[in-house]
Chains A and B, each alone.
Chain A
Amino acid sequence: MSGQSGSVALTLHLALLSILSFGGIPSVLPDIRNYVVAANGWLTDRQFANVFAIAQTLPGPNMILMMSLIGWKVGGLPTAISSALAIFGPPCTIYYFAYRPWDRFRHAPWQRVARRGLAPVTIGLILGGGTVMARAADTNWQSATVTMIAAAVILWVRVNPLWILIAAGAAGALELV
């Protein structure tokens, strides 16, 4: 336990990092690790890795969940809540106020050009994000097959993706993956 000052410090630190996390929270994960593991010793390296893996595999906004799990470790439920709010509160304010002018000028010629230029980059990053996730998740040929089947099904079949996740989870429970 690191007391109340630790909880406040963690919350403020996360709030600051949240508005610096251009391109998504994973871009500031190394900094968060330094802060909670190396600088303050609130979590061990193993615990940090576990928290990350759990956040990757449980439903919900995973980075918010990861921060609230870290908060839980540092100061129980109140810190879990304040850490979650710190990581999404400031960015959501920015999203909202940036979206309004972006939407108002959606028919302006400059924005049409910007959109046409940005869309392929965005798509490339989604494909890259999926590939990075796959590299971490696919530890053998069975799990690589699961990844490929999931990609093919979502691409060609109109099915609720949830069924794909449930089937894959069941295969994992039966130790087929």
Chain B
Amino acid sequence: MVRAAEESRVQRASLLVLFLGFLKVALCSVGGGSGIVFARRLAVEQRRWIGDPEFADILSLCQFLPGPNVVGIAVCVGARLRGPAGALASLAGFTVIPVAISLFLGTWILRYPDLAILQGILGGVSAAAAGLLIGTGLRLLIPHRDQPMALCFALLAFVGLVFTKLPLLAILLAVAPVSVTVAAISGTRKR
């Protein structure tokens, strides 16, 4: 049953659907991080290709590896559903057309950096994009709300990023090993 359900799910994810899905994600996402918001909406809520835990899992992997993290989500989700071709289709959808459009717009804006209405729109959108990212983070935190240790490590990573000048990698290397060790210890205790 589970296998059949999984197969039908994979069948639904044609390469074109992956390409168009991630094209839409990229066109909607502003300010880098908010790509996570739309990628989650596509893969978890709308298409139900993966669940929230799997999504968080892909995110953790991408955050540890070098490169533009949100692009990594497209590659991993594509690879999960349709292998190498799926990864390429998602990646192409996520990058080619959106970068072409924004490059065109960007070179145009660079010519008129002081246009007031443009500054106004850009200011409003970037304020909202920051809020979307915070709201999505809170939503991902909901399943962990009754685990005090997990909340504690989330807070540590948050404080490290917001209130210290440490590079992201340093924060990861400081917090993650402790968090994983605690998860290992508390796991054996339960058994």
A residues in contact (CB < 8 Å) with B: 18-27, 47, 50-51, 53-65, 68-69, 72, 80, 84, 87-88, 90-92, 94-96, 98-100, 102-103, 106, 112-139, 143-144, 146-155, 158, 160-162, 164-165, 167-177
Whole-angstrom CA separation of A65 from B62 in the bound complex: 19
Q: Is the interface of A mostly helix, strand, loop or mixed?
A: helix
Given A22-B169, A88-B68, A126-B33; A117-B26 close (CB under 8 Å): no
B168 at the interface (CB under 8 A from A): yes
B126 at the interface (CB under 8 A from A): yes
B residues in contact (CB < 8 Å) with A: 26-38, 41, 45, 53, 56-72, 75-76, 79-80, 84, 87, 91, 94-95, 98-99, 101-103, 105-107, 109-110, 113, 116-117, 120-141, 144, 147, 150-162, 167-169, 171-172, 175-176, 179-184, 187
Q: How far is the CB of B11 from chain A (nearest CB, A)?
A: 19
Inter-chain contact A61/B128, CB cutoff 8 Å: no
Whole-angstrom CA separation of A39 from B63 in the bound complex: 30
Whole-angstrom CA separation of A103 from B83 in the bound complex: 12
Whole-angstrom CA separation of A163 from B156 in the bound complex: 33
Whole-angstrom CA separation of A88 from B67 in the bound complex: 7
Contact of B37 among A62, A100, A161 (CB under 8 A): A161
Q: How far is the CB of B147 from chain A (nearest CB, A)?
A: 8
Residues in A neighbouring B181, C-beta threshold 8 A: 117
Given A60-B101, A99-B79, A173-B117; A128-B162 close (CB under 8 Å): yes
